[in-house]
Structure 1
Amino acid sequence: MEIKINVTSINQAFGENEQTNQIIVALNGSSADGSGDYLSSSVNVTAKDLPESTSFDDMLDSEIETLARNKLAAYAAGAMPIRVSSIVRNYDQQTHEISNVVVSLLGSMTDGTNDYINYHTTITKEDLPSDKTFATMTASSLKTLAKAKLVAVTKVA
């Protein structure tokens, strides 16, 4: 269940001096396989994210996108507190066993940037460690697995 993350907008705000004071990049993606998996996020690129002696006014959109993707990957890897908001275990009505588990993760920064991640992923039997079944997976194990999938999906190549 691959999610391709795309930039949906780059919002560049200017101060009275016509200097960029904020860039907000929206990064979103969803799976094409019908699983309902998605990632929605907003990342503030600030002056401290820029290479030395670089200004926002001299940057290409592709360079801003790279900075935002790197920040998103850092957030997913632990720079942002991310919590589980729900775990839904879906049962196969024929076998009465769990067929998949849908985990929703939410993260947000409390530093005034309003940066956030909203991630929804489906865990299938193929995602489980080889020695585990859904019956032997705790909520804690499912949470760890979902967070690992978030890190993988946001990883910058």
Structure 2
Amino acid sequence: MEINVTSINQTFDNAEQTSQIIVTLNGNTSDYSGDYLSSNVSVTSKDLPDGTSLDNVLDGVIETLARKKLEAYTTGTMPIRVSSIDRVYDQQTKLIANVVVSLVGNLTDGSGDYINCRTTISKEDLPSDKTFAIMTAADFKVLAKAKLVEVTKVA
């Protein structure tokens, strides 16, 4: 899945100084699975390189900072929880064909930063010694969170 910036929203205070920058990052898979990632990430003055302010930072720097922050969120700085696990059965074989896991996370610091993700776990994602029949919800949670970390990894 390719994660793209879909907007950079810069808001200003009464003195026309930037008060907030919110970057929206979204991605969809091209394999028609319906997998997606949607997120808002705030870039604050604490995130900026020395000598830079929210008013003179370039969009490319904002994007890089937002991507790094998104990666940090998925690796532990934002609580991410599983909201649902859907086992999808093949109607001919009567066996689980894949498992769809929905993940959500949000910060409670007032930033509005969030992650909403849907990921499909296929047979190829399972450990070599496992099948869907012997996987638990806890196992699917671990796999889904690992896939989220992988898709948000900054090169």
Q: What is the TM-score with the length of structure 2 in the denominator?
A: 0.98
Runs of 4+ residues over 3 Å off in structure 1: none
Alignment correspondent of 2:73: 75
- Give yes or no for the alignment of 1:146 onto 2:144: yes
Which runs of 5 or more residues in structure 1 are unaligned? none
Which runs of 5 or more residues in structure 2 are unaligned? none
Alignment correspondent of 1:64: 62
Alignment correspondent of 1:116: 114
Cα distance, 1:19 vs structure 2: 1.3
The AA in structure 2 aligned to 1:41 is S
Choose which of 89, 93, 96 in structure 2 pairs with 1:98. 96
Cα distance, 1:40 vs structure 2: 0.3
Alignment correspondent of 1:136: 134
Cα distance, 1:54 vs structure 2: 1.0
Greater shift, 53-62 or 23-32, is seen at: 53-62
Q: What is the TM-score with the length of structure 1 in the denominator?
A: 0.97
Alignment correspondent of 1:53: 51
Percent identity over paired residues: 70
Alignment correspondent of 2:39: 41
Separation in 2 of the partners of 1:45 and 1:77? 18
Separation in 2 of the partners of 1:146 and 1:98? 16
* RMSD of equivalent CA atoms: 0.7
Cα distance, 1:106 vs structure 2: 0.3
Separation in 2 of the partners of 1:42 and 1:23? 10
Choose which of 15, 18, 21 in structure 1 pairs with 2:19. 21
